[in-house]
With several copies, the nearest count.
Chain A
């Protein structure tokens, strides 16, 4: 059996996108890396004492500090003169990354540490039972953004974290999805070839939290890209440098597979909500030029929108 650097025998749910994602990342990184991990599903399902799934040096400290711990590991390697040989990777879920651990991530990027940060984006706090995070998408049903008589679920848009990190001026920022495993591999390798702080936001479906069948993880992870809801993009030094173009599918195709959106398929009001979600996809398509033929048009309209100067 070909040995992976993330071993079987971990305790993730069947079909877990994050388990898949973590394996892709560490296999792409290779043996000479050190990983720091925030608290979350990944940490729990890979390190229940006395077993560990990790074949590379790995450390978990707290929920919010993987970026800071990685900064310390990086500084230590720099001090030891080993930084050219050993790569440092910090990782965490969307919750730890966009919310409680965002200060530490922002600090790490601002200081320019030579660390790749990977955010496993399953769009909610899964480890604690599916609560809303800053990366939970609009109208998603989570236990702290439940639909109800007075609510359609999460009432805020998904925090645009890749753009935010890119706005920090990080040398490399990318989004990726486990629906495109080779692309994940390429981006991890590319990131590790660049010096300074790098950020990859990796879309990882969670069958348990999203209430889709385990076998649909791959499909869901492709559809989110193909609808335009999660564009695959790359930024270098804050500038958008590459996007994966799509032939947009309607968002329903993506939403209907998942229990977390099932409340939108009940009545007319739900339809109106789906239309709003379509608007989000359309805005992404426009903003990032995801569709080839519309490329020029998009540029056009951008020009018109252009800032009025005073």
Chain B
């Protein structure tokens, strides 16, 4: 029997697109955050998590460094920093 090939739901998680990020990445300052969730809503990768104020964070395994979160944060609490820098 020759079975149809099947993909599993959400299996894209296996693909770590963080490696595509070559220049900048977002640094979550966690200082003035008001938990408006805009960064969470706007991230095209869906790789930002957080609930309370100053808990928001990006999963660098997937973050492509687009900078949208930094642009959208009403409190400028996210900054794009060169790849080398630490969080």
Contacts and interface: CB of A to CB of B under 8 A. Distances in A.
A and B touch in the complex (CB under 8 A): yes
13 contacts: A1-B49, A7-B46, A8-B17, A8-B45, A9-B14, A10-B45, A15-B67, A15-B68, A17-B44, A51-B11, A178-B42, A215-B68, A217-B44
Interface of A: 1-2, 4, 6-17, 19-20, 23-24, 46-47, 49-56, 178, 181-182, 207, 213-219
Contacts of A207: 66
B47 interface: yes
A145 B19 CA distance: 35
B39 to A, nearest CB: 10
10 nearest A-B pairs in the assembled complex, by CB-CB distance? A215-B67, A9-B12, A15-B66, A14-B64, A8-B62, A14-B66, A53-B12, A19-B44, A214-B66, A1-B49
B87 interface: no
Candidate in B14, B45, B80 with the most chain A CB atoms within 10 angstroms: B45
A59 to B, nearest CB: 12
Given A9-B62, A46-B12, 7 more contacts: A8-B62, A9-B13, A12-B44, A215-B67, A217-B68, A218-B42, A218-B68
B5 interface: yes
B7 A214 contact: no
Given A9-B16, A11-B15, A53-B10, A215 B70 contact: yes
A10 B18 CA distance: 11
Contacts of B20: 14
Contacts of A1: 47, 49, 59
A7 B71 contact: no
A88 to B, nearest CB: 18
